[in-house]
Amino acid sequence: MTSAATIEALLRPDLRGGSPYGAPQLDVPVALNTNENSYPVPPEVVATITERVTTIAPDLNRYPDREFVELREALARYLSRTGTTITSDMVWAANGSNEVLQHLLQAFGGPERVAIGFTPAYSMHPIITRATGTTWIDGQRGVDAAGHANPAGPGSQFDLSVESAVAQVAACDPNVVFLCSPNNPTGTALSLDVVEAVYDAAPHAVIIVDEAYAEFARSGTQDALTLLEGRPRLVVTRTMSKAFAMAGGRLGYLAADPALTDALRLVRLPYHLSMQTQAVALACLDHTELMLSTVDAIREQRDRIVTDLTALGLTPVPSDANFVFFGGLADAPTTWQALLDRGVLVRDVGIPHHLRVTAGTPAETTAFLEAMASLTPEHLER
């Protein structure tokens, strides 16, 4: 028996044959495939990071603050900026929002428990769910309450209505519900009516609203933080990877009822947030306005992509995120490779006739749009 076969036989049965998360990490001139913030951390913030890390470095022989009190207070102040009062005991943080989601599934999922999400959505939701032994149910977008497809239209096949979401949730009585807003990969934001209706329709479930891209939402888009009061089963997850340009820093967080955040202490590993991680995150929060100063520039490039792809005969989905999901391609993998051959890396998420591109700097956006213009019309769906 080969070593691979030996390990396969020892692996949990529910993990056999599974595929890990993976986005290509290639050395290309223009990398627009993982929704990173293309702007580097400003020198002033680098200086503060250096100062904070230097300060704590002599104490690395000690464990970090297990309760990350200063960081929770800083995150609570940040979340309260828009008028919704968030207190530090409502905040939880971990090494990226994926670990935050893992804590939630460890606490509220598990064997003989069910989680539902509405796909296409963030591909890690089912992976984390299954890794915790929780049963995953693929909910559908683009259908009505009876399961019939929505009328054709740009992005309509990815909409999630109140009636459809409620019907699907009621049918499976889940323990965990994932709602992604703005949704990845489509970029579309959910109406808060959907969140409220799902919460009411799933009385035995923790409702997770994944708002990793919330800072990029178009004007007038409401976030789910406003719904937390009086809803102890509602969770809003966020990340510093995108708007804060901190993908390499690995800091995700959530806001929820204090009783729910307290429950996560049962599953977190001891001292799970290192001193360095806390120091880097605090340094970025010290410069919140500066760190968020690129958001408008990224929105501008996102909207430019939508406009220019439409002019090329493609069908981009209007986006509230820092990326654009676009259709109208004859063959998505062929176009993906053709763009890569031109030095532009975008994301093929496996949905026929569609690709996803991150909104980068003006120069990166220009490179992508010029590459797309050179490919059409022969790559257009007919």
Q: Which CATH architecture has domain 43-288?
A: 3-Layer(aba) Sandwich (3.40)
Token code pair at residue 320: 């509230």
Per-residue b or e along 322-344, where b marks 16 or more CB atoms closer than 10 Å to that residue's CB: bbbbbbbbeebeebbebbbebeb
Please report which confidence band the pLDDT of residue 48 belongs to, taking 50, 70 and 90 as the band edges: very high
CA distances for 181 relative to 219, 238, 327, 369, angstroms: 14, 11, 20, 26
Pairwise CA distance, residues 223 & 227, whole Å? 8
Find tokens 């993998």 and name the residue.
333
| pLDDT mean across residues, the chain | 95
Question: What are the boundaries of each domain within the chain?
Answer: 3-42+293-375, 43-288
* Residue 116 predicted with pLDDT over 90: yes
Question: E-assigned strands of the chain?
Answer: 30-31, 91-94, 114-119, 135-140, 176-180, 206-210, 234-239, 252-256, 315-316, 323-327, 344-345, 355-358
* Residue 155 predicted with pLDDT over 60: no
Q: What is the mean pLDDT of residues 348-364?
A: 97
Same CATH topology for 3-42+293-375 and 43-288? no
What would the pLDDT profile of 252-302 be if each residue is shown by its tens digit?
Answer: 999 999 999 999 999 999 999 999 999 999 999 999 999 999 999 999 999
What would the pLDDT profile of 72-81 be if each residue is shown by its tens digit?
Answer: 999 999 999 9
CA distances for 87 relative to 116, 144, 221, angstroms: 29, 38, 23
pLDDT-above-70 percentage for the chain = 98
What would the pLDDT profile of 302-341 be if each residue is shown by its tens digit?
Answer: 999 999 999 999 999 999 999 999 999 999 999 999 999 9
What local confidence, expressed as pLDDT, does residue 151 receive?
Answer: 61
Neighbours of 152 (CB within 10 A): 8
CA distances for 196 relative to 148, 191, 205, angstroms: 23, 9, 13
CA dihedral sign, ordered 116, 122, 123, 127: negative
> Could you tell me if 38 and 358 are in contact, meaning their C-beta atoms sit under 8 angstroms apart?
yes
Options 3.10.20.30, 3.40.50.300, 3.90.1150.10, 2.30.110.10; CATH of 3-42+293-375: 3.90.1150.10
CA angle 160, 319, 80 (to 5 degrees): 85
Pairwise CA distance, residues 26 & 15, whole Å? 27
What would the pLDDT profile of 52-104 be if each residue is shown by its tens digit?
Answer: 999 999 999 999 999 999 999 999 999 999 899 999 999 999 999 999 999 99
Neighbours of 115 (CB within 10 A): 28
What local confidence, expressed as pLDDT, does residue 2 receive?
Answer: 92
